[in-house]
Amino acid sequence: MKEINLLPDYLRPEERVLALASAQGEGFGVLACTNQRLIFLFVGLLRRQFLVINWNEAKAIRYDQSTRTFAVYTAKPTKRAVPAMAVRVASLEDARVVAHAAQTASAAPRLDIV
């Protein structure tokens, strides 16, 4: 929960949070969808991870139910494409809520949700 309390420090003044989900990157943190970008924040004792994808860079979001991986691509997702951001989101419903908010925030038809 400390990441949620720290999240305002990472937001731009005009940025609004549209959806939040618990996620795991290098540690357990928060995945936040804002009106401008997608953010993953983890703050540990020895490590910190801050991943950001602006909506003008994002091309697609994929959620793999078997691995529970929520991946954001800045290029067309293919078998060889490497996601710009990949975190684990345990709850399918949380992944759907964040993906829906992302699609709404990114000017819809441009962002593919798979």
Structure tokens at 94: 């949380």
CB proximity list for 21: less than 8 A, separation 6 or greater: 30, 31, 70, 89, 91, 94, 95, 97, 98
Higher pLDDT, 114 or 27: 27
The predicted pLDDT at position 2 comes to 87
Please choose, from the candidates 76, 70, 78, 66, the residue with its C-alpha nearest in 3D space to the C-alpha of residue 38.
70
Q: Is the pLDDT of residue 108 over 60?
A: no
Q: What is the mean pLDDT of residues 19-40?
A: 95
Average pLDDT of the chain is 91
Per residue in 56-89, pLDDT (tens digit) is 898 999 999 999 999 999 988 888 999 999 999 9
Q: What is the mean pLDDT of residues 20-26?
A: 95
